[in-house]
C-alpha cells in the first residue's frame, strides 16, 4: 500500500491516529487545527517505527513581519497560479444564508470548501 510523505491534519482529535498511521518512512504529520478537539499528547516512541515526525506550527510564528507574510503568501499564490496547488470549492452561500451554510457543513455533505460571499447579503 502507498503511504504519505506528509499529512496536514486540521481536524485533530478524531483523525490524528489515522493521520499518523498513513505516514510512510520519514513522513511528517503537521497538525494545525482542532476542529474535533485537540490532539492528545503523543508518545514519541509511537513515531520510531517509521522514523516519523510530528509538528504543530502556529501561523504567527511564520509570518512575524509584513515582509515575511508577503513572501510566504506570494509563494503559495504562485503555486496556485501554476496549478501546483488545487482548491476544490463545493458551494458558496450569501452571507444572509449563514445558518443554511452551517447546516450544510454539519451534515457532512460537503466535498470541498464552503464559502460565504460577503458581497451578497
100, 93 Cβ separation under 8 angstroms: yes
* Residue 40 sits in the same domain as residue 9: yes
| pLDDT at site 45 | 96
Does residue 49 share a domain with residue 21?
yes
Let me know whether 8 and 50 are in one domain.
yes
pLDDT in tens, 97-118: 999 999 999 998 988 899 999 9
Based on the fold, state whether residues 74 and 98 are members of the same structural domain.
no
Residue with cell 515582509: 67
In this structure, the answer to whether residues 8 and 46 fall within a common structural domain is yes
Q: What is the pLDDT of residue 119?
A: 85
Alpha-carbon span 71 to 25, nearest angstrom: 31
Answer whether residue 1 shows pLDDT above 70.
no
The pLDDT score that the predictor gives to residue 120 is 72
The Cα angle at residue 86 between residues 106 and 6, in degrees rounded to 5: 85
Are 45 and 33 contained in the same domain?
A: yes
Measured between alpha carbons, how far is 114 from 49 in angstroms, rounded to an integer? Answer: 37
User: How many Å apart are CA 35 and CA 120, to the nearest integer?
Assistant: 27
Domain carrying residue 108: 87-121
DSSP state of 85: S
| CATH, residue 16 | 3.40.50.720
- What are 98's three cell numbers? 449563514
Q: What is the pLDDT of residue 50?
A: 97
Give every CB contact of residue 90 below 8 A, 6+ residues apart in sequence: 110, 111, 112, 113, 114
Hey, is 84 helix, strand or coil?
coil
Residues 69 and 50 in one domain: no
Cell of 76: 503559495
Number of domains making up the chain: 3
pLDDT in tens, 49-105: 999 999 999 999 999 999 999 999 999 999 999 999 888 999 999 999 999 999 999
| 81 shares its domain with 92 | no
- Statement to judge: residues 23 and 46 lie in one domain: yes
User: Both 51 and 76 in a single domain?
Assistant: no
Amino acid at each position: 500500500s502507498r503511504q504519505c510523505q506528509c499529512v496536514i491534519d486540521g481536524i485533530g482529535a478524531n483523525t490524528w491516529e489515522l493521520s499518523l498511521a498513513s505516514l510512510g518512512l520519514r513522513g511528517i504529520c503537521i497538525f494545525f487545527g482542532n476542529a474535533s478537539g485537540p490532539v492528545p499528547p503523543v508518545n514519541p516512541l509511537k513515531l520510531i517505527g517509521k522514523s516519523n515526525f510530528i509538528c504543530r506550527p502556529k501561523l504567527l510564528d511564520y509570518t512575524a513581519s509584513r515582509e515575511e507574510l508577503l513572501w510566504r503568501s506570494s509563494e503559495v499564490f504562485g503555486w496556485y497560479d501554476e496549478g501546483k496547488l488545487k482548491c476544490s470549492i463545493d458551494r458558496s452561500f450569501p452571507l444572509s444564508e449563514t445558518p443554511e451554510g452551517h447546516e450544510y457543513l454539519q451534515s457532512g455533505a460537503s466535498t470541498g470548501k464552503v464559502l460565504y460571499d460577503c458581497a451578497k447579503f
